[in-house]
A = this chain, B = another copy of it.
Amino acid sequence: MDVTVAIDCMGGDHGPTVTVPAALAFLRRHPGTRIILVGLPEVLEGVGREAATQFGERLTLQAASEVVGMDEGPATAMRNKKDSSMRVAIDLVKSGRAQAAVSAGNTGALMAISRFVLKTLPGIDRPAIATVLPTRKGQTYVLDLGANVDCEPEHLLQFGVMGAMLVASVEHIDRPSVGLLNIGEEAMKGNDVVKRAGELLRTSGLNFYGNVEGDDIYEGTTDVVVCDGFVGNVALKTSEGLAQMLATFLREEFSRGPLSKLMALVSMPVLKRFKHRVDHRRYNGAALVGLRGVVVKSHGSADAFAFEQAIHRAAEAAGNKLIERITQRMAAMDGVKA
């Protein structure tokens, strides 16, 4: 993979203690890739000499003088912090020095800065946030997850294109299937926007499966599930809440008295396999798609393993020409739309 990824070292709950080791681990595992670490000078000093000698020109350190706070408003982050590590990382994509940027910083600021600096691709009205979820069959990409709360049918069509091209580049699937999240399988179901989006997707040239329902996400019915940002955000957060509740219940039942604890000990290998299979860290890295550059948002609480997955996803998308694919697909559809 001949690709350079810019890393905002300062974002996330753990900042450089997570982002820097993750970036170095990524470099170690993927020869041919390059990383630009963007952070406060004192942080970059800490990365220092040994890494520099180990990776040579594959590792670049880029100083930034400011940090966007996790609770900072998008507008103030954009206006007042033009030399933040987040902004500088995005600027590197804009200038072409990097092909992708990764940040665990706050989503609102990252989206606002990315949109302002990179701009949207031709034919794309609004960028969307796409995440990958584990399913019975493998994984499904869902978008949008909250960037767009009020969507027109055309936006959902664009999400379909963006999602399909994302899966094509990151998962190497030729013609990914696209489902439209609805409350019934029949074409007549749902609200007006979804019904009209279904019509657009049906004639889009995409591998459109039709309507899918909430349970189809984890069934893995389609490679891509398209929905507006309100619905997608609720579906994702509801899933997180349910998974956490079930994990807590399982833990509580396995620690209810000495006998249960013994059973947990005995079953540990199985429980560990189960845990690994649904480990959300493996699915870390939401793509901000529709922009003139690859930007991936890591979960704020990501550890080094999880953050490395986000870097990997960004490198795959950029290395496999996500931007070019979306651009071509939108251009090909121009005739259809007009």
Tell me if B227 and A241 are in contact (CB < 8 A): no
Tell me if A241 and B266 are in contact (CB < 8 A): no
**Residue from B229, B254, B263, B267 within 8 A of A183 (CB atoms):** B229
Contact flags (1/0) for A264-282 with B, using CB distance below 8 Å?
1011011101100110000
Of the listed stretches A12-20, A167-175, A243-251, chain B binds A243-251
Nearest-CB residue, chain B, relative to A149? B191
Tell me if A274 and B249 are in contact (CB < 8 A): yes
Tell me if A136 and B239 are in contact (CB < 8 A): no
Tell me if B263 and A267 are in contact (CB < 8 A): yes
Within 8 A of B (CB), among A205-248: 213-219, 227, 229-231, 233-246, 248
Is residue A135 within 8 Å, beta carbon to beta carbon, of the partner chain? yes
Is residue A192 within 8 Å, beta carbon to beta carbon, of the partner chain? yes
Is residue A181 within 8 Å, beta carbon to beta carbon, of the partner chain? yes
Tell me if B190 and A245 are in contact (CB < 8 A): no
**Residue from B136, B234, B267, B278 within 8 A of A181 (CB atoms):** B234
Q: How far is the CB of A188 from chain B (nearest CB, A)?
A: 11
A134–B242 alpha-carbon span in the complex (Å): 9
Q: How far is the CB of A66 from chain B (nearest CB, A)?
A: 25
Is residue A125 within 8 Å, beta carbon to beta carbon, of the partner chain? no
A192–B242 alpha-carbon span in the complex (Å): 27
Copies in the complex: 2
Tell me if A253 and B274 are in contact (CB < 8 A): yes
Asked whether A214 and B243 contact (CB < 8 A) given A149-B191, A183-B230, A270-B253, the answer is: no
Residues of B within 8 A of A216 (CB): 241
A249–B138 alpha-carbon span in the complex (Å): 12
Is residue A57 within 8 Å, beta carbon to beta carbon, of the partner chain? no
Residues of B within 8 A of A254 (CB): 267, 270
Tell me if B183 and A234 are in contact (CB < 8 A): yes
Residues of B within 8 A of A273 (CB): 253, 256
A183–B231 alpha-carbon span in the complex (Å): 9
Tell me if B190 and A230 are in contact (CB < 8 A): yes
A181–B244 alpha-carbon span in the complex (Å): 19
Residues of B within 8 A of A259 (CB): 269
Chain A residues within 8 Å of chain B by Cβ, number: 56
Q: How far is the CB of A135 from chain B (nearest CB, A)?
A: 7
Is residue A54 within 8 Å, beta carbon to beta carbon, of the partner chain? no
Nearest-CB residue, chain B, relative to A239? B242
A270–B250 alpha-carbon span in the complex (Å): 8
Contact flags (1/0) for A184-208 with B, using CB distance below 8 Å?
0000001110100000000000000
Residues of B within 8 A of A241 (CB): 214-219
**Residue from B219, B234, B248 within 8 A of A214 (CB atoms):** B234
Is residue A260 within 8 Å, beta carbon to beta carbon, of the partner chain? yes
**Residue from B136, B149, B192, B231 within 8 A of A245 (CB atoms):** B136
A150–B260 alpha-carbon span in the complex (Å): 48
Is residue A146 within 8 Å, beta carbon to beta carbon, of the partner chain? yes
Other contacts beyond A213-B233, A214-B238, A234-B234: 5, CB < 8 A: A190-B230, A214-B240, A214-B241, A217-B241, A242-B242
